[in-house]
Copies of this chain bind each other. A is one copy, B any other.
Amino acid sequence: MRHPPEQVKIGLMGLGTVGSGVMRLLRDRGEELARRNGFTLSVQKILVRDPSKPRQVPVDRALLTTNPDDILDDPEIELVVEVMGAVEPTKSYVLRALGAKKSVVTANKEIMADHGEEVFAAAERNGVDIFFEGSVGGGIPVLRPLKESLAGNRIFRVTGIINGTTNYILTKMTQEGQTFQQALAEATRLGYAEPDPTADVEGYDAARKLAILSSIAYQARVQSRNVRTEGITRLTPTDIEYGKRRGWSLKLLAESSEHGGRVDAWVAPVFIDRNHPLAKVDDVLNAILVEGEGIGETMFYGRGAGSLPTGSAVLGDIIQAARNRRREVSFTTCTCFRDVTVGGPEESPARFYLRIEVEKRSGLPAEVVRSLERWGIGLERMDYRDLPPSRAEVVLVTQEAPESRARTAIEALGRAPWLVSMGMPIRVEAEEERAPAGESASGEKLERRVLAAGGR
């Protein structure tokens, strides 16, 4: 008879959505994993707030505790799995676990995005692992591939749809013409949005995940507070409809790029071409596009959240951490050794879509053109529509210019006396439209065209 396999004893902190997924996968897959790895994964204690609460997965009540010390002070527990969320007291628990030479697996993006340095230092000092695949992209394996498989590349850009809630909302607005509020209400009803949706709809959640991705991609410390963030609350179905007619898709992108020691990092809604690899990533799905010198474009796509997908990522990490324990090695080293400046993409060239409402008066379209041209911003396209009795809607797409200058010009336009309202300026990354033969898209020509076409 074979010896019973060794046990790796685990303390689980948190039994919410992700924790339940981990327990479910361990229950369904535990036997096969033991056969494959030569050791069993045994959950010894589970930290919960309320032991009497009904759970999404059957667990032995004797495992539940409300006292973190039952896990952190148990010398038999080699591995702490943190899926309780929030920064405190969670971070203290994580640091105590590492200090007690326990390896830690976490899905906590707040901690890893903004306190990674402290956590990594504690792991290295104690010779144990900290793994966090579940913190970005749910079930999609992306952090480990980025760190290991793509280690031979210089990565120069990462672009992701990494917040499922906002992607769901934008998909509904696009496919069904819903307003932001309608789509948010539906997302909330389906459990895709939190009761307080701020972190999702303002892009903060995506900014944290982008900080984690970028830190690994560029081997530099990128924190979420350095990520320039715009949300989706000011977008309208009218904007989306306009883009659709031009063959564009509106997505909340989280993007960073590195060049010459500078990292630009931002989260913002962007019009992309319908043939862009990310354009068809709909509903709550996530995808991360990585561009590197060796690999060209590589994309990772799948379910970015949810009990089993994120549970799967956490379990993958648990298995790696447990294997390392059995071999008494750890591979955790912080790879953020490069010194870079992190900021928004202020100086990079950008084009903007903008929809404004104006008072109807003589010579107006020309005045819009001139207002922008004062800042050197040309127009690629301008659509003028009468709104009787006394107003008009102007939709314009600027030519490429440094982003900060374009924004200054748009702000100035916002102060024009004839301006009634201004929508959110939206970056356009789709291909520039080819001007009809014999016509350039310069502001001057465009102005003449607009005037000829009925601008009064």
Contacts and interface: CB of A to CB of B under 8 A. Distances in A.
Interface residues of A, number: 54
A292 interface: yes
A296 interface: yes
A205 to B, nearest CB: 20
A298 B294 contact: no
Contacts of A319: 148, 151-152
Contacts of A309: 294-296
A209 B17 CA distance: 36
Interface string A22-42: 000100110011011000000
A2 to B, nearest CB: 13
Nearest to A324: B329
Contacts of A455: none
A311 interface: yes
| Residue of A145, A152, A296, A302 with most chain B CB atoms under a 10 A cut-off | A152
A309 B152 CA distance: 10
A325 to B, nearest CB: 12
Contacts of A125: none
A313 interface: yes
Contact of A152 (B33, B35, B150, B298): B33
Contact of A299 (B296, B301, B337): B301
B320 A294 contact: no
A14 B221 CA distance: 38
A293 interface: yes
B337 A36 contact: yes
Interface in A286-328: 292-303, 308-309, 311-316, 318-320, 323, 327
Interface in A137-158: 139-141, 144-145, 148-154
A152 B299 contact: no
A340 to B, nearest CB: 13
A133 B133 CA distance: 20
Nearest to A294: B312
B29 A139 contact: no
A65 interface: no
A116 interface: no
Nearest to A335: B36
A280 interface: yes
Interface of A: 21, 25, 28-29, 32-33, 35-36, 133, 139-141, 144-145, 148-154, 219, 275, 277, 280, 292-303, 308-309, 311-316, 318-320, 323, 327, 329, 331, 335, 337
